[in-house]
Amino acid sequence: MKKLNIVFLFLLLPFFTQQAQTAGELISEGDSYYKKFDNQKALEFYKKAEKLEPGNYEVLWRISRAYVDIGEHMPSSTDEQKDEQLKTYKKALEYAEKAVKAAPDKSVTYLRRAIANGRIALYKGVFSVASVVNSVKADLEKAIELGNGGNDIQAIAHYVLARTHAKTSEKWKPARSVLGLGWADNEIAIKEYKKAIELKPNFVMFYVDYAHSLIREDDYETARKMLKKALESPIEDEDDSVRKQEAKDLLEEIKDE
């Protein structure tokens, strides 16, 4: 009888081991896939963690991030595909909203909401969703004001704020001022890019987008330096290879300026 009990417990051991997996362990597994740029697999683990701890902001903001990254790489040639992409961004926003509610004192939650809203704003067009663009700016400034989450979070917050200023300021100022977007300024974008790079150097996209803003100000010398830095930086993001090619092409384009 004692032998049978031991055999029975041995058979149940895998079940208990599986059940004992914590939300933290699931997050770690998801993060490992995220680092390999496998966003779909990362999302699967984050969603499992959500079932265990539905109010955990660490889970919620990561789910939002996964949906944004998945959305960015979805096909968008047809209206149906575009609709699916927008649904994915709206899902990212839904989870970012939950994250802000769960942790209103954490920079990362406002950052993720800003990024999700930013994707929606770019999709729909700045002029059609001016209030969303203003919300993006407010969330980024809140994330920076809170100042927590580490250098990477703060660097990305400064970078996204820079992009928000840069992209919005491309529009004719009198027209955007009517919509409450008169605050956008490429010179502020340049300051924010510099801060992002100070906090997180050697990140490809920071240098490339910074270069674009510098070119708008006819500062070709500094732009060339930044593009060369982009080409020298390691691959850390799934789009870095594309951005490096962009840097190479842009460097060739402005070599004689």
Q: What is the pLDDT of residues 88-136, one digit of tens each?
A: 999 999 999 999 999 999 999 999 999 999 999 988 887 789 999 999 9
What is the pTM (predicted TM-score) of this model?
0.90
pLDDT of residue 21: 82
* Spatial distance between the Cα atoms of 184 and 136, rounded to a whole number of angstroms: 12
pLDDT of residue 7: 47
CB 229 within 8 A of CB 194: no
Give me 126's structure tokens: 């700045």
| Interval 181-221: pLDDT, tens | 999 999 999 999 999 999 999 999 999 999 999 999 999 99
pLDDT of residue 235: 95
Average pLDDT, the chain: 92
Eight-class DSSP state of 202: S
| Interval 2-58: pLDDT, tens | 454 544 445 555 544 445 589 999 999 999 999 999 999 999 999 999 999 999 999
CB 248 within 8 A of CB 209: no
Helix extents (H) in the chain: 2-19, 23-35, 39-52, 57-72, 79-102, 107-124, 130-146, 151-169, 173-178, 186-199, 204-216, 220-232, 240-253
Q: What is the DSSP string of 55-84?
A: T-HHHHHHHHHHHHHHHHTS--SSHHHHHH
* Spatial distance between the Cα atoms of 199 and 156, rounded to a whole number of angstroms: 9
What is residue 103's three-state secondary structure?
A: coil
